Structure 1
């Protein structure tokens, strides 16, 4: 409320009038409604009729200012020492900003940034780019790595991904190592440990030496290595085998090889894809053609969308290219009637493109599923089982793509023939409450998987790995809430639900030992919904199944693809670009390490 009301009171009969407490005169408040009331007339009346009170009013409304002493004024102009806590905190935040935003170190000399810092903290004196590269960055790296070492030291089992990447803007190859593990509270952690320089020939022997050095650097012995996800290259396979650590190939990479075989198996399919590439390439290389296509899209009241060019090494890019062409079929038909295209698509080829997209859709969905950050080794067997069922179904619409579909199924059978006999996959699948024993295609494989799981539970039960069961679970856990199943909306979802329904009616064997009792009791319970979190289940059932929970913490820590390493190299490409192609490998590693692991500092 304004200080002027010290001298006025609202008229009881008319709120649009304020009575002066000094002379009792009524003064209009500036309107007839509350929205228009103001104090201008009231202040003017004080000024003209009551100068003494007006002087009091102006003094009350002026801000109280305290004049600084000469010593205080000089102190405010002094630059803070670089080694002071405040200066070091500012330097650390700037170093974080450089790493997280992919900024060059010379950014600290940018005039605009200096102007901002002068305004925010005039006493801070900006340091040189050299100081950030040689002091601030290593200090931040050490702080994060120290925190990470503590967390890793408590992890009984750690899963890894690795890959090799070569830069296109600098003569540099990098070897990655990412880690993930589940802690005692059943929380999944991910960390980037290395993106170190890998010089010379990429032989299995050199890969092995580098991998062992990286693991030793973090104090991780081979007994704690649960599995290493790698690509399917022979040098990687041999390196892991010679190291004596478990390793499996990337599921997404194997899926890529399957689709590549299928796309090349039928001449009509390859011809259609070739014509599609020519059409998309025409618009990619001609801004004028794209402009005309956009005009047609607007005339047809279509969304303005650009065509997507495929990349030979990524099959899903061919799928997205076909989708973009099918979405713009009307606009392309109008364009072709008015302009010349480097290739034309016949009615049969348009129909064939639609069928190809339908066949590839389950592969694209599966690739997305196994590439999610939350995807684990438990997702592999169910995904392959569902994919096999979808591909084996015969449909009247398969005319024209039967060879392709058959070849895809054969490729899946060949490249994923051993998934049900790989311990990493089958134990993880059994321990995922969404899947359990419902997706094994052969009874012999299921029997082997159950026997192996019982053995693992028995070994863990003997050791009583109490460290994997948090203290807060000493009391009986509440049962997992059963969320309703989501309605199936894709071919993979439909097949998933069908397989679960078929398996649920099968009987369970009678158990005898404690480990068998735990396993059979767990398997006899109803599966949790597909969208539920398996780690949340084990967090809530750690008291009921203590030994199984410990095994679950080990096996569900494994990813099913090396996508983490590929995402890591995408981050590297943003750091080591054409504008910073002279960065040294150790600085590249520090910048990426900080960017990917900053959450261990905050």
Structure 2
């Protein structure tokens, strides 16, 4: 329960939780394991059991594909994560399991990343089963895969994101203003209340604004799309509370034209981020539906218009 539900280890010390356990077990005087027992004994035992079970699953797989990413946390600690993807032989079901999420204090050079990947593969005894390694387009991880002589498959969703972000650079002023509007209503309780009330008065669905987040793919599309959905109510409220944030007619026109351009990229990214089925075979089909050059040229055209 603690592991699957991401509960704090201190839950076993909570008086109300203790009362609940006593009520439903009908065992007066039963004592929950201490926090120390939970962290030092029970959870490690469950972890080892699950790891052994997963190790056996991967051992039976004839081929394994890995996906990996490295990043730095807010506490300035570097990590690398590796997920194994394979098809269960008996049932033919796609399985994906995180096999490593470790702190990586060494410099993220191609040689160091390659050595880390080799170590993880050796630990799970899959070195001779790797068919491909999926990663982002960073030069260091691409170099590491090349050094390891594994087949490199750049993440298609990440590539799409780079294309869209390059196009969006042409619309920085509108993007910044849109984000400022969304942040205002997230900070202002009064502003949010007025926005909800105005939507209700106009018989519109009561929707909150979404904020663009640089590390969240498709969040810019979601922010623009939500602005359009609450446009009428937004104009009313901003004119009263924050007139300096009001969009001009030209800015609204640009957003209205850009959202349909971004929508296919949003849909393809969502489709290719599925976890329950193989998506690599869909790339060529999905690629053919996109106007990759158009997204950049379209936004460049709007920049000139501005």
Task: Give the TM-score normalised by the residue count of structure 2.
Answer: 0.89
1:460 maps to what in 2? none
Aligned equivalents of 1:258, 1:402: Cα separation in 2: 11
> Does the aligned pair in 1 maintain the 2:212–2:220 contact within 8 Å?
yes
2:197 maps to what in 1? 295
1:243 maps to what in 2? 148
Name which of 380, 403, 411 aligns with 2:283. Answer: 380
Larger radius of gyration: 1
> Does the aligned pair in 1 maintain the 2:191–2:237 contact within 8 Å?
no
Task: Indicate how the Cα distance of structure 1 residues 155 and 312 shifts in structure 2: closer, same or farther if over 3 A, else same.
Answer: closer
Aligned equivalents of 1:214, 1:312: Cα separation in 2: 30
2:158 maps to what in 1? 253
2:119 maps to what in 1? 213
1:263 maps to what in 2? 168
2:133 maps to what in 1? 228
* CA deviation after TM superposition for structure 1 residue 403, in Å: 3.8
* CA deviation after TM superposition for structure 1 residue 350, in Å: 1.3
Question: 2:227 matched to 1:325?
Answer: yes
2:35 maps to what in 1? 129
> Does the aligned pair in 2 maintain the 1:161–1:178 contact within 8 Å?
yes
Aligned equivalents of 2:215, 2:42: Cα separation in 1: 40
| Superposition pairs of residues 141-180 of structure 1, within 5 angstroms | 141-168=47-74, 170-180=75-85
| Superposition pairs of residues 379-418 of structure 1, within 5 angstroms | 379-388=282-291, 403-404=298-299
| Superposition pairs of residues 378-527 of structure 1, within 5 angstroms | 378-388=281-291, 403-404=298-299
1:199 maps to what in 2? 105
Question: 2:5 matched to 1:101?
Answer: yes
> Does the aligned pair in 1 maintain the 2:167–2:297 contact within 8 Å?
no
* CA deviation after TM superposition for structure 1 residue 143, in Å: 1.0
> Does the aligned pair in 2 maintain the 1:177–1:193 contact within 8 Å?
yes
Aligned equivalents of 1:313, 1:194: Cα separation in 2: 21
Aligned equivalents of 2:186, 2:134: Cα separation in 1: 36
1:363 maps to what in 2? 265
* CA deviation after TM superposition for structure 1 residue 215, in Å: 0.9
Question: 2:20 matched to 1:116?
Answer: yes
> Does the aligned pair in 1 maintain the 2:94–2:278 contact within 8 Å?
no
Task: Indicate how the Cα distance of structure 1 residues 202 and 180 shifts in structure 2: closer, same or farther if over 3 A, else same.
Answer: same
Task: Give the TM-score normalised by the residue count of structure 1.
Answer: 0.47
Give the count of matched residue pairs.
298
| Superposition pairs of residues 12-91 of structure 1, within 5 angstroms | none
Task: Indicate how the Cα distance of structure 1 residues 406 and 338 shifts in structure 2: closer, same or farther if over 3 A, else same.
Answer: closer
Q: Secondary structure at the match of 1:387?
A: coil
* CA deviation after TM superposition for structure 1 residue 159, in Å: 0.7
Aligned equivalents of 1:116, 1:275: Cα separation in 2: 50
1:530 maps to what in 2? none
- More deviation in 240-249 or 364-373? 240-249
> Does the aligned pair in 2 maintain the 1:311–1:317 contact within 8 Å?
yes
Q: Secondary structure at the match of 1:195?
A: strand
Task: Indicate how the Cα distance of structure 1 residues 343 and 113 shifts in structure 2: closer, same or farther if over 3 A, else same.
Answer: closer
* CA deviation after TM superposition for structure 1 residue 391, in Å: 6.6
Structure 2's unaligned 5+ residue stretches are none
| Superposition pairs of residues 274-313 of structure 1, within 5 angstroms | 274-313=176-215
Q: Secondary structure at the match of 1:162?
A: strand
Name which of 183, 186, 201 aligns with 2:92. Answer: 186
Task: Indicate how the Cα distance of structure 1 residues 152 and 287 shifts in structure 2: closer, same or farther if over 3 A, else same.
Answer: same
Aligned equivalents of 1:375, 1:391: Cα separation in 2: 27
Aligned equivalents of 1:251, 1:406: Cα separation in 2: 26
Aligned equivalents of 1:404, 1:378: Cα separation in 2: 30
> Does the aligned pair in 1 maintain the 2:239–2:246 contact within 8 Å?
no
Aligned equivalents of 2:217, 2:48: Cα separation in 1: 41
* CA deviation after TM superposition for structure 1 residue 274, in Å: 3.1
Q: Secondary structure at the match of 2:245?
A: coil
* CA deviation after TM superposition for structure 1 residue 163, in Å: 0.9
- Superposed CA deviations along residues 485-535 of structure 1, whole A, max 9, x for unmatched, are xxxxxxxxxxxxxxxxxxxxxxxxxxxxxxxxxxxxxxxxxxxxxxxxxxx
Aligned equivalents of 1:207, 1:252: Cα separation in 2: 22
Which fold has the larger relative contact order, with Cα–Cα distance below 8 Å and residues 6 or more apart in sequence?
1
Task: Indicate how the Cα distance of structure 1 residues 125 and 338 shifts in structure 2: closer, same or farther if over 3 A, else same.
Answer: closer
Aligned equivalents of 1:231, 1:191: Cα separation in 2: 19
